Amino acid sequence: MTSPVSIVRNVPLNRDALAPLLRTQLEILAEASERGAVAMAARLPGNSRITVPVRLSVSYPAPRKRDFGLTIAGRDTPALYPRFTGHIDIAQTGAAATSLTLSGAYQVPLGALGRVIDATVARGIAPHGLEDLVDRLIADLLAGVAHRSDVEYRAGRGIE
């Protein structure tokens, strides 16, 4: 069984500026996931969290396209966790604003038992984990932009 997911976030950057930054950040995440350094986290009922090491596979767009293919699966025991397949699309929404959309579906593991768990005790965990991943991705992108801007400003002013 697959469950559809669509997560939309606004990013205060021009699409043409965002595209190469997003590509670089996805490359970093994919490489880090191969070393076991990327995890998805989601809130559980009762104010606790679950964190699962994941492997990200990214397919990059053809020139002039603005969507990145994305597959996310549990790294160590992929058969126990949902597998997400979809894409990240970016669309200009203003002079310095872009909409970033993660859409696709996650495959619930463990057959009928997995569907029951996903519909009851684990309800919302996979989508919340994907939301957290998107929010962290955007935060890292914006932090990188702010850092580069500060470095360039200091260099231009002769400040170290």
pTM of the model: 0.81
The DSSP symbol for 11 reads E
Q: Which of 136, 73, 104 is nearest to 7 (CA)?
A: 104
Q: For residues 106 and 132, is the Cβ–Cβ distance under 8 A? A: no
* Boundaries of every domain in the chain: 2-157
CATH classification number, 2-157, choose in 3.40.50.10440, 1.10.3480.10, 3.40.50.300, 3.30.530.20: 3.30.530.20
Per-residue pLDDT tens for 7-40? 999 999 999 889 989 999 999 999 999 999 998 8
In 18-82, where do the E strands start and end? 39-44, 48-59, 67-74
Q: Tens digit of pLDDT for each residue in 74-113?
A: 888 777 778 899 999 999 998 889 999 999 998 877 677 6
- Which pLDDT value is given to residue 114? 64
> CA of 78: how far to CAs of 93, 116, 122, in Å?
37, 19, 17
